[in-house]
Structure 1
Amino acid sequence: MLVSILLLCSLLYEFQTLKIINTSYGKLRGMAEWSDDANHKFTFKSVPFAKPPIGNLRFAPPQKLDHWDGILDASVYSAACMSNSTLTTQSYVNEDCLYINIFTSEKCLKSKCSVIVYFHGGAYNTESATMFSDRFILDRYVHEDVIFVIPAVRLGVFGQLYFGPNAYLTENLFMFDAILALDFVHNEISNFGGDPEKVTIMGHSSGGTLVEALGFSSMVDPELKLFQQMIMLSSTGMFGFDDLVIDNSFTIVEKLGCFNGTKEERNTVNVAETLDCMRHIDGYEILRVQQKMELMDQLSFKYLLRGAPFMLLNGNIADLKKNTSPRNAIFGTTEHEFFDVTEKYLYITVTFLDYENPVAVARNYDGRLMKNMETMITGDSAAIFVSTATCAAAMANAGADVFLFETRQSYSVHVSDMQYFIGNHCAHNRTIDIDILDSFYSKLLTNFTKHGKPSPGWDPVDPGRMNYLELKVDSKARSGPVMLEGYHAKDVSFWVGEMTEFDQNVSKMRHSEGLPPERQDTKSQRQYWNFIVYQNFDAKNQQKLVDSTHFIINTTDQAIIFRTDISILYQWWFYLIIAVCAMTIGLVILSFKKSRNGEITPLLS
């Protein structure tokens, strides 16, 4: 009898902790969290939104789901996508990872709530959709009647393998994953209590750049059907170059034995055969080789290319901003973002604007940075600030309500504000001021998601004033957030003005020297000359450019740049050294010949 009662109680408990809903593809069983106020909260994890990208679907665009029979368990997280390497926080990874996690409530199931779709950061290579606190999401978003959704996308080589334009493999596979996830949300979120006409996409760091690309694109969702608003936090604003990704892609397929041609034969590679070979290799072996490339060769798959599905291949970022549909948006940054001044990928850090000579621009800026470290910010920080400013202004000019802010609480860097909106990277030494900011930060985001405005006293951006909210609390001084103007005006003026003029002058000089017009950082081109400027270039006064030549060699590690000042060729001692070296070599050769004839010369004795 006691056993029967216990079994009945166990069944009743399990019944109360489970929630079953219908979707267009079949039934799902999620977990329920019962509440005293009857607004019970539910989590539906590992909800498939695409067929597993395995077998013949590895390195293929995501495919829509088939229907399933029975009730699919959605109570626990699936494996994280095959994220990189030594930096990942995930212990359970698998290729079968295209799932979406949905957090909702009883109230939403009855009355339809606004929705946030969150794209995680990690340079499209690390982190996952399964790494966040359920408790934080339920308390900060679902409790505020906002459904929170986190989709997974393929990471690293699995989402970025690319050999150039061809009929078998597209660039930016992971972005196609993101779009199919949004399509699933649009068609199915009403079954979870969401309103498909009130969807806000949100991202941090590289996830923020993904959101920008999706939201500004005139090709993805110009009619605002999939999503209507955007939130971008510390968006890196940087895009990769196709030739860099192509070079990395050939490197990994060579290491895996799926291509053994010469560099010249890359242009005629049989992509279908190469993909077939790659699809027959164990996924964990591919991941292992990717890890080795990152650790040993310093080659990474972490780039969003300017190309499909959101713009034409190698198109202009300015055109992307200019041709956008208006979407209400929030842009947020932190006070410092990055302090690291040892950037290894200089030609990537300046891709937030349409420079024709990114290597020259980056190296010129780097030279200035080393001389003025107290007054200049790193290229990565500049990318975030300048991209945020120009994107915010562009969206405001398109007619949207745009809200701009910067977190300046205590030591505010690239990930420090994650504690306020997703519960990660919490400060070890919490202060009263941090707690106060934490009490309303996420509320601003939920207000915006539901009402289109984060706070009654927060005015939208005026591109002429670039007004923004400084998020900072000082309880001792009894001061709180204030509205300021001129968001990073000095940085924007420098990069959009002086550095753009520098880039134009480099282009003129290259043209006058008869150099090819293509972008100067082409990695697949093993040798080329690049005329750049290091010293005392003043764009306003148009000081004379100082010529120096750079010979760039691409190795398995990275581009190695050797500086050679051409003025050395006009020094008399240069020719004297050459003559002495030639005479020494001649004597050595003569001595060697005589020694072979049995003679020992004084030189060698």
Structure 2
Amino acid sequence: MLCGVAEHEFEKFQYNNYYVSGRFLDFENPVEVVMIYRSNYTNSSAALVNSDSSSVFVSAATYSEALVNAGGEVYLFESRQKPYTMHISDMQFFIGIHRESVHTTDMDILDRFYSKMLVNFTKFGEPSPNWQKYDPAKMNFLSLEVDSDRKIEPRMENGFHEELVNFWMIDMFELDQNITEQKKNGNLPVGFLPTEKSISTSASVAVSTINSPTTTTINVPKTNETEEFSTLSPISENYAIYQQWWFPVLILLALLVLIFVFLILKKHINTEYEPI
């Protein structure tokens, strides 16, 4: 598998669907976990990026590890080309879309590298002889950046977003389990969603580091009906297609197309058998 991410992914975007953001690791309490992360930890260190970017980086690491453990081979990379590389901006090197507003000769060099990388991977199963296969112990990846002035070229690095991955896989999973346990014990009300007030006064979550990962705890006292809750509307897990706003529009367009085709065919048949 050839797997890649962009250096800044969704850094400049604010996606407010807590449920979707929290589902990338199958949390039992996705809304609560993501709300606490966003309120307490986003950008608290250089490694702890927003939850949407986290979902991309952590997913890339976990999928790569799972495939390697299953006997597969993975080549992991991260696009870091200046001036700025975000989600899908490196598609210009793959298929020529999302072209940048500022173009440099270094981008042309990287463009040729992408082309050779894809051709080699398709033909030989190896994008480059100098590109090491992913090793979960090293979390190694290829940093894709070209800067002729600073003598920077694509290079192998270790520790692919290691602190971020550890934080989500250790601390946030511990937090999720604690929330579930307290719900079972009746310490959290049904439908509990942490507010900014409840997070700052009642939740205590320890930040992990690469060298000394810590556990995560949340202590929320029993509440009564007068206590403040989140103003967010309830999150439904039912995302059936027919409940989407665009579904009726799609059906209407399909009917119009069918009617149009029917009229064309009818006219063609009438013309074909029209007496001379």
TM-score, normalising length: structure 1: 0.34
Q: CA deviation at 1:514?
A: 7.9
Secondary structure at 2:156 match in 1: strand
2:96 aligns with 423
* CA deviation map 1:110-131 (0-9, x unaligned): xxxxxxxxxxxxxxxxxxxxxx
What's the C-alpha RMSD, in Å, of the aligned pairs?
2.5
Q: Point out where structure 2 has 5 or more consecutive residues left out of the alignment.
A: 207-213, 237-276
Q: 1:405 aligns with which of 77, 81, 103?
A: 77
1:354 aligns with 26
Q: Distance in 1 between matches of 2:102 and 2:152?
A: 21
Aligned-pair identity (%) = 40
Secondary structure at 2:60 match in 1: helix
Is residue 546 from structure 1 mapped to residue 217 from structure 2 by the alignment?
no
Q: Point out where structure 1 has 5 or more consecutive residues left out of the alignment.
A: 1-328, 517-527, 560-605
Q: Distance in 1 between matches of 2:204 and 2:177?
A: 13
In 2 relative to 1, CA 544–427 (structure 1 residues): closer, same or farther, beyond 3 Å? closer
In 2 relative to 1, CA 376–462 (structure 1 residues): closer, same or farther, beyond 3 Å? closer
In 2 relative to 1, CA 541–344 (structure 1 residues): closer, same or farther, beyond 3 Å? closer
Code of the aligned partner of 2:199: Y
* CA deviation map 1:567-602 (0-9, x unaligned): xxxxxxxxxxxxxxxxxxxxxxxxxxxxxxxxxxxx
2:274 aligns with none
Q: Distance in 2 between matches of 1:362 and 1:542?
A: 14
Q: CA deviation at 1:341?
A: 5.4
1:534 aligns with 199
Q: Distance in 2 between matches of 1:356 and 1:545?
A: 17
Is the Cα–Cα contact under 8 Å of residues 42 and 49 in structure 2 kept in the other structure?
no
* CA deviation map 1:169-221 (0-9, x unaligned): xxxxxxxxxxxxxxxxxxxxxxxxxxxxxxxxxxxxxxxxxxxxxxxxxxxxx
Q: Distance in 1 between matches of 2:40 and 2:8?
A: 18
Larger % of helix: which? 2
* CA deviation map 1:118-166 (0-9, x unaligned): xxxxxxxxxxxxxxxxxxxxxxxxxxxxxxxxxxxxxxxxxxxxxxxxx
In 2 relative to 1, CA 504–336 (structure 1 residues): closer, same or farther, beyond 3 Å? same
Code of the aligned partner of 1:546: V
Q: Distance in 1 between matches of 2:114 and 2:26?
A: 34
Q: CA deviation at 1:398?
A: 0.7
Is residue 462 from structure 1 mapped to residue 135 from structure 2 by the alignment?
yes
Secondary structure at 1:352 match in 2: helix
After superposition, residues 478-497 of structure 1 pair within 5 angstroms as: 478-497=151-170
Secondary structure at 1:406 match in 2: strand
In 2 relative to 1, CA 505–531 (structure 1 residues): closer, same or farther, beyond 3 Å? farther
Q: CA deviation at 1:531?
A: 5.7
Q: CA deviation at 1:538?
A: 2.5
1:396 aligns with 68
Is the Cα–Cα contact under 8 Å of residues 2 and 76 in structure 2 kept in the other structure?
yes
Q: CA deviation at 1:529?
A: 2.3
Q: CA deviation at 1:551?
A: 5.7
1:195 aligns with none
Q: Distance in 1 between matches of 2:90 and 2:215?
A: 41
In 2 relative to 1, CA 492–373 (structure 1 residues): closer, same or farther, beyond 3 Å? closer
Q: CA deviation at 1:346?
A: 1.2
Code of the aligned partner of 1:471: L
Q: Which moved more, 1:361-370 or 1:413-422?
A: 361-370
Q: Distance in 2 between matches of 1:534 and 1:442?
A: 48
Q: CA deviation at 1:371?
A: 7.2
* CA deviation map 1:314-346 (0-9, x unaligned): xxxxxxxxxxxxxxx011001010124532201
Code of the aligned partner of 1:352: F
Is the Cα–Cα contact under 8 Å of residues 8 and 53 in structure 2 kept in the other structure?
yes
Q: Which has the higher contact order (CA 8 A, sep 6+)?
A: 2
Count of aligned residue pairs for this structure pair: 218
1:185 aligns with none
Code of the aligned partner of 1:394: A
> For the pair shown, which has the larger CA radius of gyration, 1 or 2?
1
Is residue 334 from structure 1 mapped to residue 6 from structure 2 by the alignment?
yes
Q: Distance in 2 between matches of 1:498 and 1:488?
A: 15
Code of the aligned partner of 1:469: L
After superposition, residues 271-286 of structure 1 pair within 5 angstroms as: none
Larger % of strand: which? 1
Code of the aligned partner of 1:496: M
